[in-house]
């Protein structure tokens, strides 16, 4: 499916299933590499299933900036749990493609939602704009940190504090966990997401500590979410994601097919046109194309 | 709108490979070398985990929509285990995922494996580039079938 989510056929499919979506609770799990996100997902999946929920997991691994290939290592951390509970999981790679990735994730979420999954867990490494974009797909964003890495500071820098609804300090079996939880609480002292007071939960996949509380907080937030304003902002995010990716699609298609556009690209590459003028020209070439095809749109 | 010739940015997502050593076989180092080589060749690589059953391998391959399952065994159980995977695929009517094999496989077994759809069957010490090319080739076939079957 993510092969050609950019095809018109894929968009038609998504449009078709859209009325059957909106039921799933999308839980984002993000945070620095190595804090135990994948392992933690493996540990909370059974707790969600115990409550009769149908659970799916989408996990995103970073592609190598050089080869664009990736080792999709998240799965292996939760494989045992996935197998035991027959959980659907899909691994995606970032492929060095920002807008495209978010759209793949959006499409996959919608399909799982329409297929009747109750909880869809989305794992990303909380780094960079594309990761933040993906987290905008989640109704409940959980940021995972671990003691002793100075993660709290990183999280603030990376903009994770602004999007978090729940914090978990994982590896609470380790030294320094108590202090780390306290540090996060201190930083959060004044933070609210609307009327929601952001909880900080200590968890350990080794001892099992805090796992139930984490799940309970996720569910508490799920029932807290659908304020009209929040629902509106999720929909608005979806819309801008789709528009962004549609525009990108048009841009790349015309870079490949459209003589007018390839000529401009040529002129910019050989230095005879400045890139600002070039960009304006490309945009007007694309919008002309849209205008002329507008009459033929359904 | 006609699709362009070069849709690389959106359409040609990387070849997705599932590496698996089903059955009891403790040798994992070779798998990591392969995983890294595949990644460096621009592929997305999944690893099926420790001692997955053939059922788990096929389940994972389907759920993850991989192009190729790369099976490896060094313990001589390939005729049983590779066949089990191939049989499961057949039983479930999966034709758009290719299966390649590798490990210590006697030459006399290779045609039998080929016949049930497990190709490659390279031994230890085979040049990585040969394996990569073969996986790419099989992946292209699988991808064509995926596109056709949609
Ligand atoms: N001590 C301890 N180690 C953990 C815990 N959770 C995960 N780990 C380990 O942390 C490492 C990274 O885990 P992983 O789930 O891959 O982290 P991710 O990169 O955030 O997804 C692995 O070696 C895990 O076994 C925990 O609660 N306590
Ligand atoms: Mg992970």
Q: pLDDT per residue over A223-242, tens digit each?
A: 885 565 667 777 888 888 88
Q: Name chain B contacts of A3, Cβ cutoff 8 Å.
A: 11, 13, 143, 146-147
CA A67 to chain centre: 23
The matching CATH number, chosen from 3.60.70.12, 3.30.70.1560, 3.30.70.120, 3.40.50.300, for A8-224 is 3.40.50.300
In this predicted structure, the answer to whether residue A188 has a pLDDT above a threshold of 70 is yes
Top mean-pLDDT range of A90-94, A121-125, A205-209, B7-11: A205-209
Residues with CB under 6 A from ligand 1: A 33-39, 74, 77, 170-171, 173-174, 204-206
Minimal C-alpha gap between A153 and chain B (Å): 32
Are the beta carbons of A7 and B36 separated by less than 8 Å? Answer: no
Is residue A153 very low, low, confident or very high in pLDDT (cuts 50, 70, 90)?
low
Residue of A34, A36, A169, A202 with the most ligand 1 atoms within 8 Å of its CB, for mutation? A36
Q: Domains along chain B? A: 27-121 (3.40.50.280)
Cβ atoms B20, B53 nearer than 8 A: no
In eight-state DSSP terms, residue A4 is G
In this structure, what token pair is assigned to residue A46?
Answer: 């059974």
Could you give the CA distance from residue B124 to residue A181 in angstroms, rounded to a whole number? Answer: 49
CA A244 to each of CA A4, A133, A231: distance values in angstroms, whole numbers, following the listed order: 16, 11, 20
Interatomic CA distance for residues B14 and B83, integer angstroms: 27
Q: How far is A220 from chain B (nearest CA, A)?
A: 30
What is the predicted pLDDT for the residue at A197? 86
**Tokens standing for A44?**
């909370």
Residue A112, pLDDT above cutoff 60: yes
Q: Which residue owns the Cα nearest ligand 1 atom 13?
A: A36
Confidence class for position A192, pLDDT limits 50, 70, 90: low
Contacts of A208 (CB under 8 A, 6+ apart): A43
Look up the pTM and report it: 0.86
- Give the domain ranges of chain A: 8-224, 230-296
Q: Is A36 left (phi over 0), alpha (psi -120 to 50) or beta?
A: left
Q: Is the pLDDT of residue A84 over 90?
A: no
Distances (CA, A) of B55 to A235, B60, B82, B100, B120: 39, 9, 11, 16, 22
Rg (CA), chain A: 21
Q: What is the pLDDT of residue A27?
A: 96
Top pLDDT among A171 and A154 is at A171
């Amino acid at each position: 499916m993510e092969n050609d989510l950019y095809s018109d056929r894929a968009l038609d499919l998504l449009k078709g299933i859209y009325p059957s979506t909106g039921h799933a609770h999308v839980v984002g799990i993000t945070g620095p590499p190595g804090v135990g996100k994948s392992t933690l997902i493996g540990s909370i999946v059974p707790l969600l299933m115990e409550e009769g929920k149908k659970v799916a997991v989408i996990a995103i691994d970073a592609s190598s900036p050089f080869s664009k290939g990736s080792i999709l290592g998240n799965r292996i951390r939760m494989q045992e749990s996935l197998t035991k509970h027959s959980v659907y999981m899909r691994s995606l790679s970032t492929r060095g493609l920002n807008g495209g990735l978010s759209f793949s994730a959006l499409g996959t979420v919608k399909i799982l939602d329409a297929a009747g999954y109750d909880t869809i867990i989305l794992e990303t490494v909380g780094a960079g704009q594309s990761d933040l974009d993906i987290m905008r797909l989640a109704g409940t964003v959980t940021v995972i940190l671990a003691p002793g890495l100075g993660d709290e500071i990183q999280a603030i820098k990376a903009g994770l504090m602004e999007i978090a609804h729940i914090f978990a300090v994982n590896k609470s079996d380790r030294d320094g966990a108590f202090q780390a939880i306290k540090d996060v609480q201190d930083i959060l002292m004044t933070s609210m997401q609307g009327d929601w007071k952001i909880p900080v939960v200590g968890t350990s996949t080794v001892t099992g500590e805090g796992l139930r509380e984490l799940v309970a907080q996720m569910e508490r937030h799920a029932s807290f979410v659908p304020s009209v304003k929040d629902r509106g902002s999720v929909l608005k995010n979806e819309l801008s994601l789709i528009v962004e990716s549609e525009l990108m699609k048009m841009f790349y298609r015309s870079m490949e097919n459209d003589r007018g556009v390839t000529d401009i690209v040529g002129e910019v590459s050989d230095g005879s046109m400045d890139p600002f003028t070039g960009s304006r020209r490309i945009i007007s070439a694309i919008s002309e194309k849209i205008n002329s095809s507008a009459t033929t749109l359904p | 709108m006609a699709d362009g010739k070069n849709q690389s940015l959106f359409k040609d997502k990387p070849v997705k490979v599932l590496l698996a050593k089903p059955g009891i076989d403790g040798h994992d180092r070779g798998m990591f070398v392969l995983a890294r080589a595949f990644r460096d060749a621009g592929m997305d690589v999944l690893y099926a985990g420790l001692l997955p059953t053939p059922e788990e391998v096929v389940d994972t391959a389907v759920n993850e929509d991989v192009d190729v399952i790369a099976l490896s065994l060094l313990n001589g159980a390939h005729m049983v285990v590779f066949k089990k995977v191939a049989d499961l695929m057949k039983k479930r009517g999966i034709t758009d995922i290719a299966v390649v094999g590798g490990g210590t496989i006697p030459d006399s077994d290779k045609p039998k494996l080929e016949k049930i759809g497990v190709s490659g069957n390279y031994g230890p010490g085979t040049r990585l580039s040969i394996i990569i090319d073969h996986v790419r080739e099989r992946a292209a076939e699988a991808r064509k079938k995926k596109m056709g079957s949609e």
